Chain A
Amino acid sequence: MILVLGQCSDQVIGAFMHHCVKHSVDFAFVDLNQLGKSIDMDELYWFFPGQSPVSHSDITGVYNRFLDWPKQNKYQMDRLLSLFDWLDHRYENVINRPKDTMSNLSKPYQLDIASQFFSWSIPKTNIIMNTQIKIKSPFICKSISSERSIVNQVYRQEEKAFYEPALLQAYIPGLNIRVHACDDVIVAVGIQSDAVDYRYSRFENDIFMYHLPGQVEKDILALNRTLGLRFSGVDLIYHNKKYYFLEANPSPGYAYFESQLSRPYISEALVSSLSRSIH
């Protein structure tokens, strides 16, 4: 049985569970807002309302999409911390362990790791805060951390004020590529969009399967191993016959991309990885 951790507001969880239902894959969903309330756990079992206890030993894998801390009292916080212990140290098969998602808190750290691979380049990157600058060439502005921000294009503004630390990257025009890598399975899509940040385009994006060079695929798998990630969503841009690395997302919202494809390649890879025992 696959244990699915997340919150009801997460549509990616919904898409994954929908896939499991369609393909008769056993799963149990832990709504993290209910942990310590209607859902609980001890050293041997999970307890769900109206269900027989589920033994930890019956769980083949855990799909962890812990994105936000729910509101909690002390008991619920204790349960969350206990769950983290299980995820980081006790369950054998977790995608991804919380400790391995921490690289997402610092994009500069990720970029530093990614710069060690040679099949892509890193856009010229600056970190800036509490100053006003003149920008003479096209730059991309985004959050330095995991905090979601709309990626803005900053171009030839007279003066731009920055307060909180921000990442400024040289704007690279070209084809956006999203690569989902789950263990050794790679699914890459190209995204044609009218917007710099395709997540917020005014019109439907054109999404299609994209064939990456073998060395880029190898480097993405190696990058995942270096970051400790078994599942990631890597953003690349292809421009003038070169690939540029933007970032690696440890909790990728893959469902949107998959919904545009002819097969649920990524859900299939997740189920395959989470259904097998790791020893």
Chain B
Amino acid sequence: MSHKIGFEGYKHENNVGFFGKENSKDGKDGKEGKDDICPVATQVHHLIELY
């Protein structure tokens, strides 16, 4: 008999199925991404060119 400890609890928490709650398609974290960059107030102006 194989052990699958915690699997029933996981299924109970996700009763919509493995991919039913996805917003994004890679399933990395199930979160919506941000549409844009969040503004942070500061006066520093900075541009670094790497390549």
Contact = CB atoms under 8 A, between A and B. Distances in A.
* Bind each other: yes
B42 to A, nearest CB: 6
Contact of B28 (A31, A54, A252): A252
Interface size class of A (residues with CB under 8 A): 35 or more
Contact of B25 (A26, A122, A164, A205): A205
A251 B39 contact: no
A25 B1 CA distance: 10
A127 B48 contact: yes
Interface in B1-47: 2-7, 9-11, 13-14, 18-19, 21-22, 24-31, 33-47
Contact of A126 (B30, B39, B47): B47
Which of B4, B7, B37, B46 has the most A CB atoms < 10 Å from its CB?
Answer: B37
Nearest to B48: A127
Taking chain A's interface residues, is the majority helix, strand, or loop, or is none over half, making it mixed? mixed
Given A122-B51, A163-B39, A11 B22 contact: yes
B44 A12 contact: no
Given A26-B2, A27-B4, A10 B37 contact: no
A29 B45 contact: no
Which of B2, B24, B28, B50 has the most A CB atoms < 10 Å from its CB?
Answer: B28
A253 B6 contact: no
| 4 A-B pairs closest in CB distance | A29-B6, A253-B28, A8-B13, A150-B33
Interface of A: 1, 4, 8-15, 17-18, 20-21, 24-31, 39, 48, 51, 54, 67-68, 108, 111-112, 115, 122-131, 133, 141, 143, 147-150, 152, 162-166, 197-201, 205, 249, 251-253, 255-257, 259
30 contacts: A4-B6, A8-B10, A8-B13, A9-B13, A9-B21, A15-B27, A17-B4, A20-B4, A21-B2, A21-B7, A29-B6, A31-B6, A31-B13, A111-B50, A123-B51, A126-B48, A126-B49, A127-B46, A130-B40, A130-B44, A148-B24, A148-B28, A148-B34, A152-B35, A152-B36, A163-B37, A163-B40, A163-B42, A200-B24, A251-B28
